[in-house]
Structures are given as structure tokens and as C-alpha cells.
Amino acid sequence: MSVAVPLSHPAASSAPLIDGLGRRISYLRLSVTDRCDLRCRYCMAEDMIFLPKSAVLSIEEMGELAARFVARGVRRIRLTGGEPLVRRGIDTLAMRLGALIGHGLDELTLTTNAMRLAEHAPMLAAAGVRRINVSLDTLDPAAFRHITRVGDLAVALRGIEAARNAGLAVKINMVALAGLNEDQLLPMLDHCARAGCDLTLIETMPLGEIADDRSDHYIPLHQFIAPLREARAIYPVDKRTGGPARYFAVEDSPVTLGLITPLSDNFCATCNRIRLTVEGRVYMCLGKDDHVDLRAALRDGGDVNGLIDAALAGKPRAHDFHIERESKPAVARHMSATGG
């Protein structure tokens, strides 16, 4: 049963979000569900146990907490999951958060696997979303089905097309996977050029227990992009979108290429992010277990801002990711439980 919370006065504090190392937090990644309609091998186990409804925040509670973060200086919110578009009420939440744009919030974005994007793209545009990230690791239908276990590439491509037709800028997120999609970088780059999308490459991260040994598929991005460097020059560009990517222009291509390197080139010194899970937990770091529980405080009238301050004070200097054969993941929870 959802607990109603007051929605008209979002915050008792407007103190800026500054962590114990002096980093200003301006970017909230809000996980709206731990559920997903795919089972990507590097992200999730095939048989997942998801949270019961009683354990998750209501749409109203998410809106309330997001408003409190905006009141304290968050300028960007990204809706994540799991797959955010499977959450009932996502349209209500998107509309409420979109109403904050221009009133403290600069931007509302979303990361999706595009399986339900064709249905929801017009709603996202109406809510004020102007750009989205789509997780897409290959353009080979058989490889897509293998990586996702259940996905249909044609559905994802239709979703991307619908998003573009709705006026949304689309960036493709491609996880680099040795032995699975090493041959797909140049085809993906050319596809993005034709489709009017940018492309960001991401190293796989050791989060949650999965069936495969991640070391079998880990490849550092400098090695993954080697075929591209042999074919075309790439040049760093001065672009920031609020996340950890470094951006490059590609010779003879309109595509901006982003690189996210959590293992081979740590980027934590400039971290400006905080993550709120669907359970109402604030995790200080994607790769750490330390957290504070805002759900209980929100429902019981506790000191939400005090807990946020405690989370900021405990935010670590950096994550400590390693991928070696048969090594345990950095944390037991899956990425879908924390939000990307």
C-alpha cells in the first residue's frame, strides 16, 4: 500500500549538495524500478528475484524526493531502472518532473532498452524530455538475442526511430564485450550516422552475480576502439552532458563518440552524481554498499535532509572495480537494483 506524502512543499532545506571531498552534486539518477523486460548477460542473472511492491517507492514518493533534490541543487535527473518504461505510472512521474524544468531543473533524461520506446516516445517528448540514452550492444539480430536472452532487435530499432520522429535526440550506449560484439563498432558507428544518433562505449562493470565470468568478456576501451583508430582519426571535443563520458569527434562522421572507462581510466575525481534506488536508498557510490534509507524517513516524517547530508559526507573518493578470472563482483546487487 502506497503512503501518501505532501507534494506542495518539497524541501525544508535548500543547502547545496556538496560531498566530503568538495564535489558539488548536481545530477540525480533516479531508479524507478528494478524490473526489466530483458535479461542482458553482463547485467542480470537469467532468473531474477525482484522487489515486492511494498518495498518500492510510489510514484508520488519518487516525485517528492526528486523535488527535494532539485531544491538542493540537482540540475539534471535521469530516469533509470531496470527498464524505466515498464514502471506503471512512469508517464505521471515524467510529467511531474518535467514540470520542474526551468524551476531549478535544467534537464530530464532517460535510459531505456527501447523495447517499449515506440509506445512511450510521444509522452516523453510531451513531458519535456529532449534526449535519451538507448542501450544497444549490437546490430546483429542473433547476437542481440544472445546478449539480451529474450530481446528482439527489430523492436529496439523501431523504438529508436519512433523517438527520433518524436523529436528526441538519441544516444546509443554500447557495452564493449570481448567475443560478443568486438566486430560491431564500425557497423554501429555507421548506423548511428545514418540514424542521426550519437554513440557512447562503456566498459562492463563487476556488479551483481551472473552466470558468466565477466573476465571472459571484459575488454578495455582503448583496445575495443583500436579498429576504429586504424580506419579513422578521432579528436577530443569539449562537450559535457553531466555524466562521466569523455567525447570525441570521428573523422568523416557526424557522430560524437563517448567513452566511459570505469576500469581502465577511473573518472571518480569529477563525480557529480548521486543515485536514488526504487527502494528509496541513496547509494554514495555505484561500486559501494554504503547507503542511507530515505523511504522510512519520508514515510515516518523523519529527517530526510539530514540523511542526504550523511550520504554526502560518506561519499567515497573512488570506486574500486576489478575484473579478474573467478573474482567476485564489487557488490552483490545488480546494476538493475541501483540504477545505471
Binding residue positions for [4Fe-4S] cluster = 36, 40, 43, 268, 271, 285
Give Cα 193 distance to the centre of its chain.
23
Going by the annotation, the residues of the binding site for GTP are 29, 78, 111, 171, 273-275
Nearest to 117 by CA among 128, 132, 130: 132
Residue 277, C-beta contacts closer than 8 angstroms, at least 6 positions apart: 31, 34, 283, 337, 338, 339
φ, ψ for residue 234, nearest 5 deg: -125, 145
Report yes or no: 42 and 204 within 8 Å, Cβ to Cβ: yes
What is the C-alpha separation between 309 and 23, in angstroms, rounded? 13
Q: In terms of Cα–Cα distance, which of 197, 168, 33, 20 is closest to 107? A: 168
Whole-number Å distance between alpha carbons of 25 and 162: 33
CA 335 – CA 340 distance, rounded (Å): 6
How would you write 290-338 as a 3-class SS string? CEEEHHHHHHHCCCHHHHHHHHHHCCCCCCCCCCCCCCCCCECCCHHHH
Query: Residues comprising the binding site?
Result: 29, 36, 40, 42-43, 78, 82, 111, 135, 171, 205, 268, 271, 273-275, 285
Beta-bridge partner residues of 276? 30, 282
Beta bridge partners of 173: 135, 200
